[in-house]
Each structure stands twice: as structure tokens, then as C-alpha cells.
Structure 1
């Protein structure tokens, strides 16, 4: 069995990387340690690189289509990982999950309709509908005894006839919550009762840590399957976001026909050669082993951050994720304003993290830390932060 080296440092500057080469544009300065954008600093696994190289050896890159092998790889992977038996006709390539939000909003809603989100949550959940002249209604998560929960009573109180869609983050970004089956069932029941469609963003679904089970939203009940469109991808798990390998799964005949006919009309369901090849290469037994080793390393990184802060910077608390390589840091104990917190991280510690307020005002006082990197990188980052906090 091959052992993968996640301590390897990969130089990513000057590769047109958003995470590394767009620091000045996003933070107003360069020279920062980038721990923000949700891609990992680990080498894309060799079995994916080898598959792409083999395809590049052919001298023609003409029009392509998703072969049976592509569908079979997804069907087998979803079955093995989630115990969910999906059908080929349920699957469609999409050119990115955020673009998928826009397609659903454009096709199933109209300007002025209301769309529900549950902040603190991935910021395109708000930006996309607002940019398309839809009204965003928030149903903030509740933090109860240090645990985030959905507020179902508040959700029912805000739904009216103008509410058409709820965008679900499953697992939840930025807090890394793996929602329980019971929580998702209750959500589905409310949405069906109020004629709400659910778009479930499950891009982190493959990154649930051992001991936590991810439930694809359509699997939790017949009601959930009847009202939902699911988006996912191998991109987070295998660090191939730049290849754009997203796909949709829609079990409901009515929703699928309506949505997939829209995608087909604009050829939005046409993927690239490399998206298909990378997905087939990822969704293999080799991919399953790489995923296992990667998750074990990331989990150790989470534990490292938690232990480090507990010992040396106890005013910063770790909201331990149940999935993903993103760690939600509660910095409210530092007693700083939003601007002061940004100044502390960016200008003084020279660290580029996503500030919590970008996920909604409910995230004010938090920071999102990307731990998908060598542990030595985390050591350096936490040393910088501790130095400036303890030296102030």
C-alpha cells in the first residue's frame, strides 16, 4: 500500500492560484501566509495526474462526452461511500456548484422571489441570489452549548408564499457540521409542507471524518428526495478544484426533467475531457485509500491546532469540524472589534484567513482557517499569531 506524503511543501506561487497569487487583490498586501481559499496544499494524487497525462499523450482534444465509465465510477463511489444506489439518469455534469445555484435560481424562481439561507454560511449562498435580484431571507443557525443547530421554529415563522427555495450546506461550511439524519428529515418535512425546493451543496460530503456519517439529503426521506437537487464534486477531496468536476444528482422525475432540460438547452451539462478523466481516476479503490490517508492527516492537523491553542492561546477556541479541512475559530475571547481582528491577523501576524463576517454577521468574531496544508505550515502560522497576541 502506497503511503502519501502530506508534509511535502509544494510551491504554488506564480501558478495563477487564487489562494497564493491574489493576496494583494483580496487582502491589500502580499507577503501573507495563505490559509483561506478552500483548496488544499497537498499534491493532487498521482493516479489522477497519470490519467490526465495519458489523455494528453493523444494529439487531439476534440468534442467529448461522458462515457459509461464516467457514470459507473460515480454510481460505484456513491454506493461505496454513502450506501446510496443512484441511477445513471439521475446524474448530470454541471460547470461548478456556484454556477449550479445560479442555474436553479434562474430556472425555478423569478426576480423578487425569496430564497432562504442559514448563516453563518458559505457567502455565495447570499451573493448569487442577491446578484440575480432575489430577496435573501436568513434563518440563522443557533449556537446552543457550543453546538450549532438549525432553528426550525424560526424557519417556519419566516416562510411565506414568496419563499421558493432553501439552499442547504451539507456538510455545513464554515462550521464543518455533519447534519444528523433526523435534522435533515425535519428540514425536508417543513420544506415539502411549504412547497420549498431544496438545493443541497454537498461538496464536502466525501470529507466526513471517521465517526461521523454524512447523509446525502435526498436519502433521508421520500419527502427529501421529492423536493431536492443535490450538487457535489470530487474537487475538495482530491484537490482538483481548477478542473471543475462538479455534478448534480436529482432523483425526482419532475425536478430532474425540468432542470436537466434547462441544462441541456444551453449545453451547460457538457463537461471537459479533463473533468471526466479526473473523476474516473479519483473514484477508484486508489482514490478511496488516498482519501483515507488524507482525512487521517487533516484530522491530526485539526487536533494539532486545537491542542496548540488550548495551551498557548486559550482565548481562541476551535469549533472542531466533523467534516472538511476548514476550521472555525472563535476569536471573540480576544475582545477585538471586527476591524481590529482583521488587523491582528493580516497586518500584524501576516496571515490570510477568511474572516467570519463574510459568512454573515453571525460569523463576526470568528475566522475560518484552512488546515489542508503541511503541519509545519500550521506551526509557523500559529506561532505568528501567538507572538502578536501575547506581545500586544
Structure 2
């Protein structure tokens, strides 16, 4: 049995996905509920990564660690090979994760009361982090037609007049949309016109499906590259979220210096002893595993979309161009979000994410994680169809 078919019991591994549903969903007992919500995979990490971690464990001292030059070079080589993006290792700063990295960028380059622009529906920390840091969030809702999202350019530019920073989700979470180069070029042009900085979260950029292309924002920025911060990590790609490692890429040395000073002030500049080990092994030896994963995900997407749309008339799902997430449109069922979630949790015994978590623009949708063995996926779909039947 290969890595992507075997079912692993995660119930006693301190897994947020499997062990925190009572708290997240406000239910008394979730022991019989199948989790298909938070974005981590029920697949083992690449064997070269676990082998490297096992070898590191043989050394019994776990003192302070740092990201070595080989780690930086591995990341640079990966970005060049997978995305055609040339990045200097001097442009890299390291952090405990993309969310903490985002918080640092917002804290350093905006002030209390400044406006941060987001385009919902979008990953919740895009608006919760600025709010918690005392910033004002501006919302330019994406337009949607049959599951396809686009920027409302007139509204977007009007909001840029007030904004100090725009946060881009590239690829887009939750829909799995890949932004076209032309869209990104226009976005950079408008932000430059209004002197707005751009934070591009590209953590899903390796999970690109066959025939599709991810365009890094830096690759189309041209002379405006110094206004861009790109957040990248191997953790989503290789299912290493608990290792907690990410990097900020910025070409502007002044911005790097200011970020380094902030990290020193807050003690966030170092990574745990396992992060550099996993980082280097993933980027140097993880590609065969990733290519196999993408084949599995492609089959899963085809299977899930076909079954869900056939067995629950009214559900509509646009196949994602990236990620392992389905953005399910249930508006035709005539259910409120509260009713839909009640059906899923109480009748179907399956946990998906409510669309409103991604902003008011997400109401009427559900986010489903299909990165699990086929056996688990089949069971999950059966539970969903039971819930809505």
C-alpha cells in the first residue's frame, strides 16, 4: 500500500484537525464526526523528510538552531525550477509560519488606525490579524459567477485610495483560483499608483494542478518589486504545518532591515531545531512525492465533484486550479448556513468549514478538504450526501 492509500489514526496525536472539533464547532462530543475542514493533509510527509528528522533525533541535544545557507539555496533552487522565479538568498527572512510573518509585516509597515485592504471571500487571518493589531480593514468583495472569482477593479481602486497595505492570496484560498499574469500586473500597477504595499501569501503555490501555472507576484512586478512582500513555506506543500517554518521574500534591503529589527525586538527570528532539517530535505528531495500527491489530488477532485453534484442535486463545485480544497456552492438548496452546518454535523457526522468564516461573501458556500486517503474521501462524501438527502 502506498503512502497516499494508507489510513493513519490521528486521534491521539494532538492534531487540531482531529482533536479540536468540540471547541471549533461548539459541540459536546465529536468522536463520531469525520473532519474534512482545516487545511492539513491526512497523508504522511515525504519519506526523505521523515528520514532526515529521524537522523536528527539520533543527536540527543536540541539547542538553538538556524537556517543554513544550504537551506536558503534549496529554497531558491525550488522556486526557480517550479515557478521560474529567480530569488536571491539575501532576500530571504525566516519566521515561524506565514501567519506570524504576515503579522510582523503588518506591524512594521502600517500604524495603528491604518487601512489594510483584503478581497473576500478569503483566508480569515487576512482580516483578523490586522483587526487584532488595531488596523482598519477595507473589504473589496470579489465578484463571483458560477464559482469563478474576479477582482471588482473600480471598487478595488477606490479602496486603494485609503489603504496602506493590500494582502493578496495567490493562489486564492478558499476557491483555488490562480490569478492570471494580466490580473497581477494590473494589481501591481494600481497599488503603485496609490503607493500601497503588497503582501502576497503564496503558501499554496506548489499545489498546482496539471495544465495550470502559478504566477508569482514578484515575477510580474518589474520596477515595483520593492513594494512586495512574498510569504512562502514548504509546510502546506509537504504537510509539515506542525514544523512551523516560513520565509518572507523581499528585494528591498531597507525593508529587510526593518523586519529583522522587529524580529529581534520580539524574539521571533529563530526556528525550532527540526525546521531547518525538514526544510532542506523537502526542497531538495520532496519533488517526486509532490508530483505523486498532485496525481492523487487530481483523481480525488474528479471523483468528489462528480459524486457530490450527482448525489446532491443543487450542489455546484468549480474544480479548483490549485490546492486540495473544494469550495462548494449550496445556495440552490435553499438552506441557511446554520441549517447546512446542522445537517452536516448532526445528521451526516462530517465537519466542513462554513463559508462565512471567509467573510460575508462566503455565505452559501462550504470548504471541504479532500487531501485524505480514497477510503476516507468516499466515507466523507457518503456522509455529506446523507446530510443533505
* TM-score tier after normalising by the smaller chain length: over 0.9
Alpha-carbon distance between aligned partners in 2 of 1:64 and 1:384, rounded to the nearest angstrom: 45
**2:160 and 2:191 in contact (8 A); partners too:** no
- 2:233 corresponds in structure 1 to 233
The TM-score normalised by the length of structure 1 is: 0.95
**1:116 and 1:165 in contact (8 A); partners too:** yes
- 1:333 corresponds in structure 2 to 332
- 2:4 corresponds in structure 1 to 6
Matched, 1:306 2:305: yes
Unaligned runs of 5+ in 2: none
1:35-114 to structure 2, matched below 5 A, reads: 35-114=36-115
Q: What's the offset of the Cα at 1:22?
A: 0.4
Greater displacement, 186-195 / 372-381? 372-381
Alpha-carbon distance between aligned partners in 2 of 1:78 and 1:264, rounded to the nearest angstrom: 27
- 1:118 corresponds in structure 2 to 119
**2:146 and 2:318 in contact (8 A); partners too:** no
What SS class does the counterpart of residue 184 from structure 2 fall into? helix
Output one character per residue of 1:132-153: Cα deviation in whole Å (capped at 9) or x when no partner.
Answer: 1111110111113541111111
Q: What's the offset of the Cα at 1:160?
A: 2.8
Q: What's the offset of the Cα at 1:159?
A: 2.6
**1:171 and 1:205 in contact (8 A); partners too:** yes
Output one character per residue of 1:299-333: Cα deviation in whole Å (capped at 9) or x when no partner.
Answer: 11111011112321131111211111111000111
- 2:152 corresponds in structure 1 to 151
Distance change >3 Å, CA 146–CA 355, structure 1 → 2: closer
Post-superposition, which runs of at least 4 consecutive aligned residues in structure 1 deviate over 4 A?
A: none
Q: What is the aligned residue count?
A: 386
- 1:274 corresponds in structure 2 to 274
- 2:384 corresponds in structure 1 to 385
Greater displacement, 96-105 / 48-57? 96-105
**1:188 and 1:223 in contact (8 A); partners too:** no
Alpha-carbon distance between aligned partners in 2 of 1:39 and 1:145, rounded to the nearest angstrom: 27
Matched, 1:342 2:370: no
**2:160 and 2:196 in contact (8 A); partners too:** no
1:148-227 to structure 2, matched below 5 A, reads: 148-161=149-162, 163-227=163-227
Alpha-carbon distance between aligned partners in 2 of 1:264 and 1:290, rounded to the nearest angstrom: 36
Alpha-carbon distance between aligned partners in 2 of 1:166 and 1:248, rounded to the nearest angstrom: 16
- Superposition CA RMSD, Å: 1.4
Q: What's the offset of the Cα at 1:223?
A: 4.5
Output one character per residue of 1:168-203: Cα deviation in whole Å (capped at 9) or x when no partner.
Answer: 100000001111111111000111111111111111
**1:36 and 1:368 in contact (8 A); partners too:** yes
**1:341 and 1:365 in contact (8 A); partners too:** no
**1:192 and 1:223 in contact (8 A); partners too:** no
Alpha-carbon distance between aligned partners in 2 of 1:266 and 1:132, rounded to the nearest angstrom: 15
Q: What's the offset of the Cα at 1:44?
A: 1.3
Alpha-carbon distance between aligned partners in 1 of 2:111 and 2:273, rounded to the nearest angstrom: 34
The TM-score normalised by the length of structure 2 is: 0.96
- 1:19 corresponds in structure 2 to 17
